[in-house]
Amino acid sequence: MNSPLVLFAFTSLVLVVAYSIVRALACPRPTPPYSLEATTLLAYAGAEHKLGRLVRIQTVSHFSHAEENDDAFASVKTELMRMFPLAAARLLWTFAGPRAILIEWPGSDGALDPVILCAHYDVVPPGDEAGWNFGPFSGDIVDGFVLGRGSQDTKVTLVAIMESAERLLTKGFTPKRSLYFAFGGDEETGGLDGARSIAALLQERGISASFLLDEGGPVARGIIGFVKRPVALVGISEKGYVDVAVEADGESGHAAMPPRHTASGVVAKAVRAVEDHPFPARITYTLAGFLSSLRPYVSFPYRWLFSNLFITWPMVRHALSRSPGTNALVRTTAAATMLSGSVRENVLPHKARAVFNVRILPGTSVRQALERIERQVARHGARAGFAHHGHANEALPESSIDHEGYRAIRHAVDEAHPEAICVPFLFMAATDTKHYRDVAKAMYRFSPISQERSDLGGIHGPNEKISVENVRRCCMFYEKLMESL
């Protein structure tokens, strides 16, 4: 073997390793965390009772309007104007539809782009009430918690936005840039009558917002295992969504004389093929920012991995792919959620069907995701197509962490959750932001409330509740955000 070549290779390896270690060591030193004084949050006392009043209004949304209580949805508008009299008198209210409330707070400087703050006041059904330890629409405050459906998702942010505006109006504050509060009443069923109506009205008025803030990631406590401090997960991007149906035809008849492969068997093999060959993992702008922002707060091995993705990506990819939560950060996912075949045990299925719920990573289109699944299942004799035409959403663009919106959100996090690290994040669930892509230049998704793993089960599950401290911190966040704008 040529010794100069070996020496060159060895020297290059040493230099690369040394460079990677230097990059890891060069991370800025994190600022030490501190906690809010308990007395600071007393300024927001009372907001929890207003949240309780809103929780008691049973604004359960359904895909069929016939199942909904129109009077309950209408009473939200009345209740908001009653609870926030200054906002009712001084701000400009527009009801863009039966499920759409738009409130404008005109700014003093018309040259500045406005900002849109969003929330939704509809909720999912409570499900089996036997699983609840209290009334699903209680609204009571017990042991320091506001109880009931919508207390986290997302009546708390709606109340916090309005409470912050009311407090600032009391102080005689006027924002420099105009603020729009956009409240939809059908986010849980797609936002067609709520957010879409509001966005259409804003477009008619020629509004082009600097940024929009909607529900999103929480201040996660103990959820990201390799970070000791709480992490404020600010969604700068949102996955696309499509349901893909995989089908196969077969010969009907008695199951006593089956063919070699039934329609159900073909679909089963197709499902297995999709699961065994997941979409490739990719480093997105969001993921790179997420890992980079965490570097100063993790132990040296993680810091080294996150600082040198040009050589450590295979290891990072493997580590992230092992957990469902982190695997979804790096790839488009396809989850088989529904299966159907014969109507009876002893009858061969004439047709079998499976449905994949597909969440699409930014940079991949709905069409590309569908075509990949089509190729995979065709090898096994099945076909794929849209399960519901017209119900697919493209992944939303990734918003910059250098934008004034992200900086303003980070500032408000520092004020209301000073112990937390603010990091960009890929939001996996669908929100109303998809309707505003032509209205806002940047879109962010963040719910300024602390959550532990035990809190997550209450969202769309039984026993949803939120701490009084969380409600008050949420108010503080929005007040500081509005002041900084």
Given the structure tokens 């794929």, which residue do they identify?
Answer: 384
479 has catalytic annotation: no
- The answer to whether residue 44 is domain-embedded is yes
Q: Please check whether residues 336 and 263 belong to one and the same domain.
A: yes
- The answer to whether residue 21 is domain-embedded is no
At 312-333, the pLDDT tens digits run 999 989 988 988 888 999 999 9
Q: Please check whether residues 48 and 133 belong to one and the same domain.
A: yes
Maximum alpha-carbon separation in the chain: 86
In contact, 394 and 240? CB cutoff 8 Å = yes
- The answer to whether residue 314 is domain-embedded is no
122 has catalytic annotation: yes
Q: Tell me which of 104, 187, 415, 464 is the catalytic residue.
A: 187
Buried b (16+ CB within 10 A) or exposed e, 349-370: beebbbbbebbbbbebebeebb
Give residue 253's region: left, alpha or beta (phi > 0; psi -120 to 50): left
- Please name the amino acid found at residue 269: K
Q: Please check whether residues 224 and 246 belong to one and the same domain.
A: no
Residue 110 in 3-state DSSP?
Answer: coil
In contact, 362 and 328? CB cutoff 8 Å = no
* pLDDT band at residue 462 under the 50/70/90 scheme: very high
In contact, 356 and 336? CB cutoff 8 Å = yes
What is the per-residue pLDDT for 472?
97
Q: Please check whether residues 132 and 191 belong to one and the same domain.
A: yes
At 114-124, the pLDDT tens digits run 999 999 999 99
- The answer to whether residue 227 is domain-embedded is yes
The radius of gyration of the chain's CA atoms, rounded to the nearest angstrom, is 25
Kindly give, in sequence order, each residue whose CB lies less than 8 Å from that of residue 424, ignoring residues fewer than 6 positions away: 234, 235, 236, 286, 289, 290, 293, 401, 406
User: Is it the case that residue 279 has pLDDT exceeding 90?
Assistant: yes
Whichever domain contains 108, its CATH number is 3.40.630.10
- Please name the amino acid found at residue 358: V
Task: Provide the pairing of β-strand 443-451 with 211-220.
Answer: parallel
User: Is it the case that residue 10 has pLDDT exceeding 50?
Assistant: no
Q: Please check whether residues 365 and 460 belong to one and the same domain.
A: no
Q: Please check whether residues 219 and 368 belong to one and the same domain.
A: no
User: Is it the case that residue 6 has pLDDT exceeding 60?
Assistant: no
At 171-223, the pLDDT tens digits run 999 999 999 999 999 999 999 999 999 999 999 999 999 999 999 999 999 88
Residue finishing a domain among 349, 377, 394: 394
Kindly give, in sequence order, each residue whose CB lies less than 8 Å from that of residue 108, ignoring residues fewer than 6 positions away: 174, 175, 176
Which of these ranges, 51-60, 81-90, 383-392, 417-426, has the smallest mean pLDDT?
383-392
Neighbours of 23 (CB within 10 A): 16
Task: Provide the pairing of β-strand 145-147 with 465-467.
Answer: antiparallel
As a whole number of angstroms, the distance between CA 446 and CA 218 comes to 6
Bridge partners (DSSP) listed for residue 209:
440
User: Is it the case that residue 168 has pLDDT exceeding 60?
Assistant: yes
Q: Please check whether residues 354 and 470 belong to one and the same domain.
A: no
* pLDDT band at residue 378 under the 50/70/90 scheme: very high
What is the per-residue pLDDT for 65?
86
The pTM for the full model equals 0.90
- Please name the amino acid found at residue 427: F
As a whole number of angstroms, the distance between CA 219 and CA 419 comes to 10
Residue finishing a domain among 394, 410, 433: 394
Q: Tell me which of 48, 122, 214, 215 is the catalytic residue.
A: 122
Q: Please check whether residues 81 and 162 belong to one and the same domain.
A: yes
Whichever domain contains 347, its CATH number is 3.30.70.360
* pLDDT band at residue 469 under the 50/70/90 scheme: very high
Sort 413 into a burial class: Cβ within 10 Å, 0-12 / 13-18 / 19+.
buried
Q: Name the average pLDDT for the chain.
A: 92
As a whole number of angstroms, the distance between CA 114 and CA 106 comes to 9
- The answer to whether residue 372 is domain-embedded is yes
Give residue 450's region: left, alpha or beta (phi > 0; psi -120 to 50): beta
User: Is it the case that residue 151 has pLDDT exceeding 80?
Assistant: yes
Q: Please check whether residues 43 and 118 belong to one and the same domain.
A: yes
As a whole number of angstroms, the distance between CA 151 and CA 164 comes to 17
Of 54, 91, 49, 48, whose CA–CA distance to 181 is shortest? 91
Of 449, 447, 416, 419, whose CA–CA distance to 433 is shortest? 447
User: Is it the case that residue 108 has pLDDT exceeding 70?
Assistant: yes
> How is residue 119 written in tokens?
């929330």
Which residues constitute the domain of residue 244? 240-277+332-394
Count of structural domains within the chain: 2
- The answer to whether residue 450 is domain-embedded is yes
What is the per-residue pLDDT for 19?
47
